[in-house]
Amino acid sequence: MPHYQAWEEFTRAAEKLYLADPMKVRVVLKYRHCDGNLSIKVTDDVACLLYRTDQAQDVKKIEKFHSQLMRLMVAKESRSAAMETD
């Protein structure tokens, strides 16, 4: 399971994974209070992408990216066009 250190790298890989097959992709957010870690995992059962952070400023980035993916998942318009405009 690739664990990404760079946020931009993770978002590009997650977008690519989602656009390849939107019906199979799942997104999981997990917060561990004992460690103070927030992790986001994007998977399609073949590939699994993971980004983990303990920095407070990364929470807004993760929240924005997560909401962007959720909007794409419920949108009826072209998924690739919507991802490029955001």
- Distance between CA atoms of 30 and 13, rounded to whole angstroms? 19
Is 11's pLDDT higher than 80?
yes
Residue 73 pLDDT: 84
Between 2 and 41, the more confident residue is: 41
Class for the domain spanning 7-68: alpha beta
pLDDT digit string, tens, across residues 25-74: 999 999 999 999 999 999 999 999 999 999 989 989 999 999 998 888 88
Per-residue pLDDT for 82 more than 70? Answer: no
Domain boundaries, the chain: 7-68
Q: CA 66, CA 1: separation in Å to the nearest integer?
A: 20
> pLDDT tier at 83 (50, 70, 90 boundaries)?
low
